[in-house]
Amino acid sequence: MSRRRRNFKRFHSPVVEEKALTLETFPTELLFAPTLSGPSVGPHNAFSVPAVASAIQLISSAIGTLPFSLFRHTDAGGKEPATDHPAFDLVADSPNDWTASSDLRAQLAQDAMLHGNAFAYTNKIDGRVVEIIRPVPGSVTMLINYATGEPSYRINPVAGQGNLDGSAEAVGDAGEPRVLPYDEVIHVRSPLSLNGDTGIAPIQHGREAIALALTLEQHAARLFANGARPASALELPAKLNDAAVARIGASINSAHSGMNSGRTMILESGAKFVQLALSSVDAQFAELRLQQLHEIARIFRVPPQMLAEYGRATFANSEEMARQFLTFCLLPWLRKFETAYRRVLLSPEERRTYSIEFDTSDLLRGDVNARGEFISKLRAGGVITANEARHMEQLPRHADGDKLENPYTTSAKGPANNAPANAS
């Protein structure tokens, strides 16, 4: 418990009333409410929309693959990996014996985008965090103390509930619910929140757009399942018997389908060939689906080109795409992860000298020429040394690389330079 909370409770009588903000009440009621277009939107059917699945996989995989580590701030104003800190391996390598750090972050990001909140609780030995474990989404209840505003978390048992995600089943003794303080639970909120305590899932506040995409997807599936619509028809002046209809149909199909498509058609018995045109609604169907892709891209703040929509993509704006993706989409999520990890793994005193951060430089490596020019300007301006520039490019240190000088104006010093020009 923080020092501020302890001081507060010294002078105020404790209030035991708590409010529970669960994933099954407020967010879920809105999440599964019917939409104007018909279908309800939940984590499973939202994921069946290709644009939604692509956006979630894009963001979660980026969060999972970006380097994430614990750093110590040096007296010189720099920072270095704090490999001797007990939490270093939990952050950068493995939060537990069966999960990689990258996999945990990617899964937590997916949980937050589908449910609005992602949780991972810690187990401690002698006050030191030894592992981080992700519970099943929906099994965590957030409790808010009315008197202090301090949150705590109840981890509910899940055994006996059958398949948890369609593939894994809980086994063993579930035990009793546990209530953990806020500094033992990593809570990653969605960047959007109405109450400041719990996040709102992107699929929740954009459920109408996703529901319309679902409706269009289902309409297309039913249309083609029923054979879509014929491209043409024959208009006959008189009614024919079944045998005549079958004979004419077979004759036309054999003479004008496949390799014979495009040949001149000869009609008999006064028949007229009628080309069936698409209605205005059908003609706009593809545009409607494309529009929903753009709407879903807006929901997740992802550039449409990164969802495989290249209608307006050019080489120039593709170079800028990674920067926009990082600035407007990823950074809010990355800051949520960094603060959630720091709150649990670092004490208030340690936060003055340690930090937990993502390294986003890999996302900006695409434009090699621009990056080279940027580093050259930093070197010429005396902002960084050669070794700092080499570190940015993941190159080993050089023995003479710690001098803060302009390599373009500083002449090399040596015996040959000091010799007289007319020396023989």
43 lies in the same domain as 127: yes
60 lies in the same domain as 152: yes
Q: Which residues of 198-211 are buried (b: 16+ CB within 10 A; e: fewer)?
A: bbbbbbbbbbebbb
Looking at residue 276, what is its pLDDT?
64
**For residue 361, what is the DSSP state?**
G
Nearest to 302 by CA among 336, 327, 319, 335: 327
- Residue 392, in any domain of the structure: yes
Q: What angle do CA 90, 67, 308 make, to 5 degrees?
A: 125
Instruction: Write the CA distances from 87 to 91, 96, 356, integer angstroms.
Output: 6, 11, 10
300 lies in the same domain as 189: yes
252 lies in the same domain as 147: no
Looking at residue 314, what is its pLDDT?
63
At 42, the pLDDT band (50, 70, 90 cuts) reads confident
- Residue 173, in any domain of the structure: yes
- Residue 87, in any domain of the structure: yes
203 lies in the same domain as 234: no
- Residue 257, in any domain of the structure: yes
**For residue 363, what is the DSSP state?**
G
- Residue 1, in any domain of the structure: no
At 23, the pLDDT band (50, 70, 90 cuts) reads very low
Return the axis-axis angle of helices 101-115 and 331-345, rounded to nearest 10°: 120
51 lies in the same domain as 99: yes
Who wins on pLDDT, 307 or 256?
A: 307
**For residue 46, what is the DSSP state?**
H
Cα 287 to the center of its chain, rounded Å: 26
Rounded Cα distance, 76 and 383, in Å: 14
Residue ranges with strand state E in 134-268: 140-145, 151-155, 178-181, 185-189, 232-235
For residue 225, pLDDT over 70 is answered with no
148 lies in the same domain as 270: no
Q: What angle do CA 19, 23, 28 make, to 5 degrees?
A: 115
Rounded Cα distance, 291 and 153, in Å: 40
Paired tokens of 133: 């474990």
Q: Which amino acid is at 223?
A: L
What totals of helices (H) and strands (E) does the chain contain, helices first? 16, 12
The predicted-structure confidence for 43-52, as pLDDT tens digits, reads as follows 888 888 999 9
300 lies in the same domain as 195: yes
**For residue 170, what is the DSSP state?**
-
Average confidence score pLDDT of the chain? 79
At 405, the pLDDT band (50, 70, 90 cuts) reads confident
For residue 9, pLDDT over 50 is answered with no
Looking at residue 279, what is its pLDDT?
59
Nearest to 257 by CA among 279, 278, 230: 230
The predicted-structure confidence for 296-353, as pLDDT tens digits, reads as follows 999 999 998 888 877 776 666 666 788 889 989 999 999 999 999 999 999 999 999 9
148 lies in the same domain as 88: yes
Domain that holds residue 267: 230-275
151 lies in the same domain as 37: yes
Q: What is the CB neighbour count within 10 angstroms for residue 29?
A: 9
Give the mean pLDDT of 262-268.
69
262 lies in the same domain as 311: no
Nearest to 410 by CA among 389, 385, 373: 385
Looking at residue 376, what is its pLDDT?
87
Looking at residue 13, what is its pLDDT?
38
Looking at residue 159, what is its pLDDT?
47
Identify the weakest region by mean pLDDT among 128-132, 184-188, 280-284. Answer: 280-284
Looking at residue 224, what is its pLDDT?
67
Give the mean pLDDT of 140-151.
90
Q: Which amino acid is at 50?
A: P
Rounded Cα distance, 369 and 64, in Å: 27
The predicted-structure confidence for 154-181, as pLDDT tens digits, reads as follows 998 764 444 445 555 656 556 788 999 9
Rounded Cα distance, 325 and 333, in Å: 11
- Residue 2, in any domain of the structure: no
Q: Which amino acid is at 155?
A: I
Q: Is 325 exposed, middle or buried (0-12, 13-18, 19+ CB in 10 A)?
A: buried
| Helical H segments across 226-359, by residue range | 242-256, 280-283, 285-300, 315-324, 331-345
- Residue 420, in any domain of the structure: no
Please state the three-class secondary structure of 300-332 as a single string: HCCCHHHHCCCCCCCHHHHHHHHHHHHHHHHHH
Looking at residue 82, what is its pLDDT?
94
At 40, the pLDDT band (50, 70, 90 cuts) reads confident
266 lies in the same domain as 156: no
- The DSSP annotation for 143-154 comes to EEETTT--EEEE
Give the domain-ending residue among 316, 331, 358. 358
Rounded Cα distance, 394 and 366, in Å: 15
At 227, the pLDDT band (50, 70, 90 cuts) reads low
The predicted-structure confidence for 118-136, as pLDDT tens digits, reads as follows 999 999 998 899 999 999 8
Q: What is the CB neighbour count within 10 angstroms for residue 334?
A: 20
Paired tokens of 141: 């209840």
User: How many structural domains compose the chain?
Assistant: 3
- Residue 271, in any domain of the structure: yes
Backbone angles phi, psi at 244, to 5 degrees: -70, -40
